[in-house]
A and B are shown apart, each in its own frame.
Chain A
Amino acid sequence: MSRTDAVTRILFEAFPTAEVRLFYALGYTAIGIFCWGVYVQIRKYRRGTALALEGSLWSRAGGMVAQVFSHRTVNRRDHAAGGAHRLIFYGFVLLFLGTATITLQYDILEPLFGIRFWQGEFYLIFSLVLDIAGIALLVGLVYMMYRRGWLKLPKLDYARTDRALGDPDFLRPEYRREDWAFLWTLVIIGCTGFLLEAARLVWLHARPDVWDTRWWSPVGAAVAQALEAVGLTAHGGAVLRLSLWWFHGLLALTFIALIPFTKVKHIFTSAASLMVRDPKAAQRLTRIPATQETPGVAKITDFTWKQLLNLDACTKCGRCHEACPARAVGAPLSPRDVILSLREFANAALESGSLPPAAELGVHGKSPGQVSMETLWSCRTCMACVEICPVAVEHVPIIVQMRRKLVEDGDMDPLLTKTLQTIHKTGNSFGESKRKRGSWTKSLPFKVKDARKEPVDLLWFVGDYASFDPRNQKVTQIFATLLHEAGVDFGILYDGESNAGNDVRRVGEEGLYEVLAESNIASLAAATFKSIVTTDPHSYNTILNEYPDFGGKYPIQHYTSLLKQLFMDGNLKVTRPLALKTTFHDPCHLGRFNKGYEAPREVLRLLGCQLIDMKRCRDNSFCCGAGGGRIWIPDPVGSEKPAQNRMREAAAIPGLEVYVVSCPKDLTMFEDALKTTGNEGKFVVKELIELVREAVSAPEIPAVPA
């Protein structure tokens, strides 16, 4: 037998049996505490309402494993944190697998079946891998300490935007303490691990199979050399090893026992959250179940078990806090704080043996753990938070469901109340008569078909702003003309069209949304067409993702895709290429919501424009601030608006000539912000349709008169 065959580490070497038993007893106790903790958490989730998940559990599990192991979500938009966490993750996983492997042999395979594999070459490679894992873990941890302690990143500042200095939960120092405790515990476990390895080597220096193979544990070996260099003897090594062993072991067991009670539980809760995620969480909101008495969420137990799990998955990484446009302009909303408040509330209310009385479970208000009206109404439902969250927390549905209760109680800004009443009465947010919906068509030299009366190929769902707002009406007329010139057989619903309801739903007026959806679906059902096109991304989102729940499933595209197609097919030709320096603002409901980033960029390229993207583009596009019903809620006097913030970002592009939008609300918000930020004259805001008009000259043959 070669010497390397027998190389292994004897567990519990030189331990009296009593000590071994003690360790096992402590181990089982730790596991017991861990299991109790897990039970308390699961009991908490089960106190939420029921929810059935779509799709098979296996595919979800597979997807989760892929996401966790690739660490794609942790790496997005923060490669430093992504890299460091990868090191920590792989280090930790490998070390855990290492311990599991040892346990497998030592406690199961060897005593039961006499199988030994943890020896020889396997053992040596194992040792090397684990040393590297340990280094990786420590490097990652030290970087994280540097991030928190020295870089002091704003997103890791836990001061709340919706509380003031002096409020009990304003600064939350207990979060910082827990973060540092977590980091230090792991660092100490790691370091003592290496020290322990080194001490053992010094202790067993005399054994050739240990000492001669020591460089397979390079860190341990290096530290052992250093220890010997300062005079540690073999006996000293033995003492050091024994004391470190217990210290390291107890610390590790305590760590394990406390997992479900501390931030460490994110190991499980984050993975579970990723497994139960709904990729369309913000794009497709859920109906109020028929069994539910009061709409929306009033008590903590009105949340689903999945939402309660989401609350626990949050690791306070602060990316949603950073991405939120409301937070960026100083509104009292941080998605992170909504989740953390509710988490604190859930932990306080749902972790004891019996459930507190209903009166104590209300989550609306200003006490610690509650979420205030002002916070909920600040949200633009732009889903920047949901999009970037590495652990799949779904903030937007939580906020909307809490808004449903506010709406039911009438706790809204008076202007919003009035707008909802207006929409109910007239089907549009402008209060105009339904008959005027098609009045933008009157000044056109051709007749726009009435899709209620005759079949059309393409049904154009125009939308409120495009139909009634004077500035947007110009764009609508141009689009109609372009379609006409391209020979597209299209029509509109005229009075049969109402507000699509996307924003009404996100305000939380679910009853009114149902009325609007049902009315539009009835109009669509009575018309004959092949597909729908819309110039309004909000309408696009709700018709595409939410109308099917109400019985209306239609093929629909946003106009940018249609225009691209028309150019590709040659129905529209660029006759005057525009050599303009442009930037494109991805509208939330087209871009981030439905991944529609490419078509508008293609069109700009075809037009001959030079496109310079802003830093916050595509999935990180910065909302204009009009979503979530905010266009119907006045902004506080004196504060910056998200659109102004965005304009300043655009103004930093040298030589910018055109800021291109493809959404009616964006056009309104940004033209206004252009003026109020003092950028008028420096560049212009234009709809993509307007640029297309400039690049495509009208055909020689005049349009056929009506």
Chain B
Amino acid sequence: MKILIAVKQVAALDEDFEIREDGRDVEAEFLIRDLNEWDDYSLEEAVKIKEASSGPVEVVVVSVAPEEADEALRKCLAKGADRALRIWDDAMEGSDPIAIARVLAAAAKAEAPDMLFAGVQSSDQTFASTGIATAAFLGWPHAAVVSSLDYAPGAKSAVFRRELEGGLLQEVEIQCPAVLTIQLGINTPRYASLRSIKQAAAKPVEVKTLADLKLSAGEVGESGSHSRIRRMYIPDKGQAQLIEGDAAAKARRLAEIIREFKGDAA
């Protein structure tokens, strides 16, 4: 039994960041990289299934990213993944979620897992698309925003709940193998101590290229994407009227606002 998990090393913006000269991205030196928050949960869900299973279950993480993502992949190894796989080729630069999904689907075909997990979205670009697009390329059943899961490795179906707007949940049954995108809060991700991360640093990350997956350059990168970034810019901040003074003065003004509102409401 095998569970494949698509993970992403996301980028957060540092203080005083600057837009690149070509205006289409932020200067690389201001990007702080870390494993996507959603991936902590999807990995933990897979490791929990593995630990609860009587038979052997292999948990494999895969990421379409350049070498700097090895750090995030090793963190996954420290948290219980058995193998880490990274796919990259310079031609993949500038890929949007659909192009990434094409690569992930090719990797999944080679790995032949019983389930594929992804996070609902990544915290940096929040497309919420990659996992589901991968399912289309694989031709697999798929569902998004899974907040609890009941799945026995190798089973023909799974039952899960999806978290809808407004705090509503819906119970769903799905045929397996399937692609599920996992929501925050489905479990409590385990802590990976620095020691275990250092030990995982000794484990290898398998690297594959376009050729290994029999993909052409036209299917990835900008040519394989279904959208193109024209311009990236820093938006004007909304104008909140700042209330000044010491704490007591601020509180007095707040009290005024509250009493005004109540006066209207009364």
A and B touch in their complex, CB below 8 angstroms: yes
Chain A interface residues (CB < 8 Å from chain B):
288, 295, 407-408, 410, 412, 414, 417, 420-421, 424-425, 433, 435-436, 509-512, 514-515
Beta-carbon contacts of B153-176 to A below 8 Å, as 1s and 0s? 000000000000000000000000
The total of chain B residues at the interface (CB under 8 A) is 15
Contacting pair A420 B195 (CB below 8 A): no
Identify the closest chain A residue to B16 (Cβ): A435
Identify the closest chain A residue to B192 (Cβ): A410
Q: Which residues of A contact B208 (CB under 8 A)?
A: none
Given the contacts A425-B34, A433-B14, A435-B15, A410 and B191 also touching, CB distance less than 8 Å? yes
Given the contacts A425-B34, A511-B198, A407 and B193 also touching, CB distance less than 8 Å? yes
Contacting pair A511 B15 (CB below 8 A): no
Identify the closest chain A residue to B34 (Cβ): A425
Docked Cα-Cα span, A420 to B190, in Å, equals 13
Contacting pair B195 A408 (CB below 8 A): yes
Interface residue? B211 (CB, 8 A)? no
Beta-carbon contacts of B178-195 to A below 8 Å, as 1s and 0s? 000000000010111111
Given the contacts A435-B14, A435-B15, A295 and B188 also touching, CB distance less than 8 Å? no
Given the contacts A435-B15, A436-B15, A417 and B194 also touching, CB distance less than 8 Å? no
7 closest Cβ pairs, A-B complex:
A511-B194, A410-B191, A511-B195, A512-B194, A433-B15, A410-B190, A435-B15
CB distance from B150 to the nearest CB of A (A): 24
CB distance from A420 to the nearest CB of B (A): 7
From B34, B188, B190, B197, contact of A511 by CB (8 A): B197
Identify the closest chain A residue to B40 (Cβ): A421
Given the contacts A425-B34, A433-B14, A414 and B194 also touching, CB distance less than 8 Å? no
Contacting pair A509 B32 (CB below 8 A): no
Contacting pair B14 A420 (CB below 8 A): no
From B14, B193, B198, contact of A408 by CB (8 A): B193
Q: Which residues of A contact B193 (CB under 8 A)?
A: 295, 407-408, 410, 509, 511-512
Q: Which residues of B contact A509 (CB under 8 A)?
A: 193-194
Q: Which residues of B contact A435 (CB under 8 A)?
A: 14-16
Docked Cα-Cα span, A433 to B194, in Å, equals 20
Interface residue? B223 (CB, 8 A)? no
28 contacts between A and B (CB under 8 A): A288-B195, A295-B195, A407-B191, A408-B195, A408-B196, A410-B190, A410-B191, A412-B191, A414-B188, A417-B191, A420-B191, A424-B194, A425-B34, A433-B14, A433-B15, A433-B32, A435-B15, A435-B16, A436-B15, A509-B193, A509-B194, A511-B194, A511-B195, A511-B196, A511-B197, A511-B198, A512-B193, A512-B194
Beta-carbon contacts of B11-32 to A below 8 Å, as 1s and 0s? 0001110000000000000001
Docked Cα-Cα span, A49 to B197, in Å, equals 26
Contacting pair A514 B194 (CB below 8 A): yes
Identify the closest chain B residue to A417 (Cβ): B191
Q: Which residues of B contact A412 (CB under 8 A)?
A: 191
Q: Which residues of B contact A425 (CB under 8 A)?
A: 32, 34
CB distance from B29 to the nearest CB of A (A): 11
Q: Which residues of B contact A515 (CB under 8 A)?
A: 194
Q: Which residues of A contact B194 (CB under 8 A)?
A: 424, 509-512, 514-515
Identify the closest chain B residue to A511 (Cβ): B194
Q: Which residues of B contact A288 (CB under 8 A)?
A: 195
CB distance from A464 to the nearest CB of B (A): 17
CB distance from A663 to the nearest CB of B (A): 25
Identify the closest chain B residue to A408 (Cβ): B193
A433, A435, A510, A514 interface centre (most CB from chain B within 10 Å): A433
Docked Cα-Cα span, A151 to B196, in Å, equals 52
Identify the closest chain B residue to A418 (Cβ): B191
A407, A417, A509, A511 interface centre (most CB from chain B within 10 Å): A511
